[in-house]
Amino acid sequence: MKNIKFVDLFAGNKHLLTEFLNSARAVFQSGNYILGDCVDRFERNVKTFLNAKHFVSCANGTDALILSLKCCGVKPGDEVLVTPMSYLASVSCVKIVGANPVFCDVDEKCNINPKSIINKINKKTKAIIVVHLGGIPAQIKAILKVLKEHKGIYVIEDCAQAFGSYVENRHVGTFGDFGCFSFHPLKTLGGLGDGGGIIVKSISHYRYLMRARNHGHIDRNDCSFFSQNSRLDEIQAAFLTRLLKEIKFRLKQRRKQVYMYLEYMQELVNNGKIVPILPYRKSISSFNFFMIMTLKRDELKTYLSRRGIDCRVHYPILLNKLSAFNGQMKNLPLPNAQANVRKILSLPLGRHIRRDDIKRISFDTIKLLKKQ
C-alpha cells in the first residue's frame, strides 16, 4: 500500500522540466537577470488574467503585504483589523510596519466575519487585511458594505492562497484597494522559489509600489524615498509565465478532486460527522487547500497518518496566541476561531493525487468516523 503525500511538487511539475530548463537557459543567455523582459511579461499576463487595473510583482507574498501597508501610510500607533486564522505573515506584516493588529472573529468558512469588525473600528483603524483562507473567498462584498460608513480605511486582500478564486465572476484581489499574492511553490500558482505580487487600483499607488519594491529608485544613483529590495527574479518570472498557461487546468483539476471527496464522503457530510469548507454561493474557490472540520480531527489525522496518508492542519495555532505576542493577546474572545481551530483538517489535492487515492482517503475517513 503506497503512501499518499499531502503535496508532491516534483510530480506536479515534472512534465515541464524541459521547458523550465529552456527558460533558465534563455534567461542565462540574455544577461538580464533583474527586472527584465520576463518580469514585464509576467506582470502583463497576470494583469490580463485577473482583469486588474495594475499589477506589480515583488519578492514574496509577505513583502506584498508590507509594501501595501506602507503604501497606505500605516505607521506606529495605527490599527489594522486582522483574522486569527491564517499563516502568521498575515499579522507579522502589521507588526513589521509598527502598527497594532486588532483580531476579529471568523465565520463558518474560517474567514474574517463582517459582523465581527463593526465594533473593532475606531479612529486609529487604518486598514483591514482580508484573508481568503485556503482559497475560499471571504465575504468581501459584505465587508466593503460595513466599511462604506467609515471613510479612510484601506482594504488589503490577502490572496496568497487564492489565485484563481472569484466572487460573482470577479477575481478576489480586485475588490479592495490592494490584492496581495504569493507565488511560493505551495500555492496554486507557485514557482520554483519565492515570488509575490500586488493588484492595485490607484495609479499613484502603482507608481509608488513600482519604486518601493526597488529601493525607491528614481534613477541608478538616487531615490525619492527609502525602501527595500523586493524584486521578483527574472528566472522565477519565466517559470511562472509558463505555469500561468495551465493554471485554469490545474484549478479545474483541484475543484474536481474536491467534489470526488464529497461524492465518496456524502454520508459523513449528511450526518454531520464532517463539515467540508466550501465557498459561499456565487463564489468559486481555487482550493489551495481542501479543508474539512470534524470533532475527531486529531484522532482522524493520527489514524490517516498510520495508514500512510499525509494530512495537514492549516493552521493549528491562532495568530493571537503566537509566542511573539508574549501572551498579551491569548485570551481574546474569539469563540468561532477557537472552536474551528480544533476541528480543521486539510486533505491532499494536486496533480499527484488520483481518484483511487481520494477513494482510499475517503473510505479510511469513513471507517474511523462512522463508528464514532
pLDDT number for residue 372: 64
The DSSP bridge partners found for residue 198 are: 56, 180
Going from N- to C-terminal start, the domains of the chain cover 9-244, 248-370
Residue 223 has pLDDT above 90, yes or no: yes
- Grid coordinates representing 220 are 541608478
Give the Cα separation of 264 and 106 in Å (integer).
28
Over residues 326-360, the pLDDT tens digits come to 999 989 999 999 999 999 999 999 999 999 999 99
pTM exceeding 0.95 = yes
How is domain 9-244 classified at the CATH fold level? Aspartate Aminotransferase; domain 2 (3.40.640)
- Percent of the chain at pLDDT exceeding 70: 100
Give the Cα separation of 265 and 276 in Å (integer).
10
Largest Cα–Cα separation, the chain: 70
Q: How far is CA 352 from CA 7, 91, 247, 357, in A?
A: 8, 32, 16, 9
* CATH class of the region 248-370: alpha beta
**Is-contact 345 300, C-beta < 8 A?**
yes
Cα end-to-end distance, the chain, whole Å: 25
Amino acid at 270: N
Phi, psi of 35 (to 5 degrees): 50, 55
Over residues 248-282, the pLDDT tens digits come to 999 999 999 999 999 999 999 999 999 999 999 99
Mean pLDDT of 285-297: 98
Residue that the C-alpha cell 493525487 belongs to: 353
Give the Cα separation of 337 and 140 in Å (integer).
18
Residue 61 has pLDDT above 70, yes or no: yes
1: pLDDT confidence band, cut at 50, 70 and 90? confident
Residue 313 has pLDDT above 80, yes or no: yes
C-alpha of 235 from chain center:
22
Q: Do domains 9-244 and 248-370 have the same CATH topology?
A: no
